[in-house]
């Protein structure tokens, strides 16, 4: 599969994640404003992919001229929760004094690194999952999309599935649909189908019941920001999954590149949580599903306390909270 986000020599190219699974199309983003719009619409999404987007945003800013640092700041603030976005911007900006070519080289290095680090993190996590679970082959549960599409390539939590599937160790994956934007039903299911991994999509509300019935050997999720103490921000619903997993004695494993660790935050209570537009909940596939002005609570992420997590795993192995 092509990279989720890439540089074609003149512009940023992304797989349009708003169109999948019905349409597979590639968008070309030539300006900082187009990139910011794509980030806000979730045409490009997922923490590691946002890291690459941040760095490429600085590349676009250098080409547009004007106040590069002000444009870079707008990119960094396009979404607040995934620390990778501002991390990618900051890494590219460090090269600004060396010129536009140095900024581009740094952004391309981030793109190259991404697959390598996600493969390594998910390989470590696969070994940890095998150590935590006795049953073979494994029945895994996934929330949101932490696959190829959430990274430049390969994936984090879903990368674990790829490693285990290569070894014939995956029986099936239960895919939380992930309301309201359906990253599980639309994107994770699409990736699993492409890879020939057996899966079932379930409503988010079915996850605890699946665990109660003994249908889940391990929960695997990605992360948008990991505080120094090991608290993890991830897609809304992750916290509830972790509570259910603890109640049922199911291991709960978080996989992310170390760029997702924000050591400047002591605990998850300090993580900014993005609130998204009410209409994401008031409508489904364009049709109204609530009274027109229904009040809406639509946080895009939640924070799972470290004590509910069996392991947080990066390319360096198990993350040791401070």
Is residue 224 annotated as part of the catalytic site, yes or no? yes
d(CA 231, CA 245): 16
Residue whose CB is nearest to ligand MRU in the complex, by number: 222
Which residue bears the tokens 């619409």? 41
Whether the Cβ atoms of residue 143 and residue 184 lie closer than 8 Å to each other: yes
Which residue bears the tokens 């490693």? 163
Site string for ligand MRU, 64-93 (x = CB under 6 A): ------------------x-----------
Contact window for ligand MRU (CB under 6 A) among 5-13, 108-116, 146-154, 204-212: 146-154
Question: In sequence order, what are the beta bridge partners of 275?
Answer: 299
* Smallest separation, CB 224 to ligand MRU (Å): 5
Q: Is 134 annotated as a binding residue?
A: no
The one among 300, 303, 306, 308 contacting ligand MRU by CB under 6 A: 300
Does position 223 bind ligand MRU by CB under 6 A?
A: yes
Site string for ligand MRU, 235-274 (x = CB under 6 A): x---------------------------------------
* Smallest separation, CB 95 to ligand MRU (Å): 25
Q: Is 47 annotated as a binding residue?
A: yes
d(CA 238, CA 137): 24
Which one, of 177, 139, 302, lies nearest residue 235 by Cα? 302
d(CA 243, CA 238): 9
d(CA 292, CA 290): 6
The one among 150, 152, 219, 242 contacting ligand MRU by CB under 6 A: 150
Whether the Cβ atoms of residue 232 and residue 306 lie closer than 8 Å to each other: yes
Whether the Cβ atoms of residue 241 and residue 141 lie closer than 8 Å to each other: yes
- φ, ψ for residue 255, nearest 5 deg: -125, 130
* Smallest separation, CB 155 to ligand MRU (Å): 6
Residue 35's CB is within 10 A of a number of other CB atoms, namely 28
Window 152-171: residues binding ligand MRU (CB under 6 A): 156
Encoded tokens for 3:
């990279």
* Smallest separation, CB 66 to ligand MRU (Å): 28
Count of residues touching ligand MRU (by CB under 6 A): 18
Contact window for ligand MRU (CB under 6 A) among 5-13, 38-46, 132-140, 307-315: 38-46
* Smallest separation, CB 18 to ligand MRU (Å): 11
Which of residues 62 and 301 has its CB atom nearest to ligand MRU in the complex? 301
Does position 186 bind ligand MRU by CB under 6 A?
A: no
The one among 4, 71, 142, 183 contacting ligand MRU by CB under 6 A: 183
DSSP class of residue 135 equals -
3-class SS of residue 199 = strand
Which one, of 47, 78, 61, lies nearest residue 146 by Cα? 47
Sign of CA dihedral 117, 120, 123, 125: negative
Which of residues 7 and 239 has its CB atom nearest to ligand MRU in the complex? 239
Which of 6, 176, 224, 262 is labelled catalytic?
A: 224
Does position 222 bind ligand MRU by CB under 6 A?
A: yes
Whether the Cβ atoms of residue 239 and residue 224 lie closer than 8 Å to each other: no
Active-site residues: which are they?
224
Annotated binding residues for substrate: 45-47, 79, 183, 234-235
């Amino acid at each position: 599969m092509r990279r989720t986000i890439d540089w074609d020599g003149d512009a940023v190219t992304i797989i349009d994640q708003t169109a999948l699974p019905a349409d597979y199309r590639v968008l070309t983003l030539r300006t900082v404003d187009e990139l910011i719009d794509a980030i806000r619409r979730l045409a490009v999404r997922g923490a590691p992919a946002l890291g690459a987007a941040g760095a490429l945003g600085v590349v676009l800013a250098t080409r547009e001229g004007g106040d590069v640092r002000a444009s870079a700041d707008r990119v960094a603030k396009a979404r607040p929760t995934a620390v990778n976005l501002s991390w990618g911007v900051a890494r590219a900006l460090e090269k600004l004094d060396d010129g536009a070519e140095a900024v581009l080289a740094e952004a391309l290095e981030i793109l190259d690194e991404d697959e390598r680090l996600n493969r390594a993190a998910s390989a470590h996590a696969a070994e940890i999952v095998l150590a935590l679970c006795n049953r073979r082959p494994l029945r895994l549960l996934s929330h949101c999309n932490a696959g190829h599409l959430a990274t430049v390539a390969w994936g984090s939590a879903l990368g674990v599935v790829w490693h285990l599937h290569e070894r014939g160790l995956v029986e099936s994956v239960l895919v939380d649909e992930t309301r309201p934007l359906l990253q599980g039903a639309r994107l994770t299911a699409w990736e699993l189908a492409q890879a020939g991994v057996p899966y079932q999509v379930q409503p988010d509300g079915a996850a605890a019941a699946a665990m109660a019935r003994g249908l889940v050997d391990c929960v695997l999720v990605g992360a948008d920001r990991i505080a120094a103490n090991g608290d993890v921000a991830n897609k809304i619903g992750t916290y509830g999954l972790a509570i259910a997993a603890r109640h049922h004695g199911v291991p709960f494993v978080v996989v992310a590149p170390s760029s997702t660790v924000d050591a400047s935050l002591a605990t998850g209570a300090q993580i900014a949580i993005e609130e998204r537009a009410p209409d994401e909940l008031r409508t489904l596939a364009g049709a109204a599903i609530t009274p027109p002005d229904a009040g809406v609570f639509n946080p895009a992420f939640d924070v799972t306390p470290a004590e509910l997590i069996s392991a947080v795993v990066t390319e360096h192995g198990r993350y040791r909270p401070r």
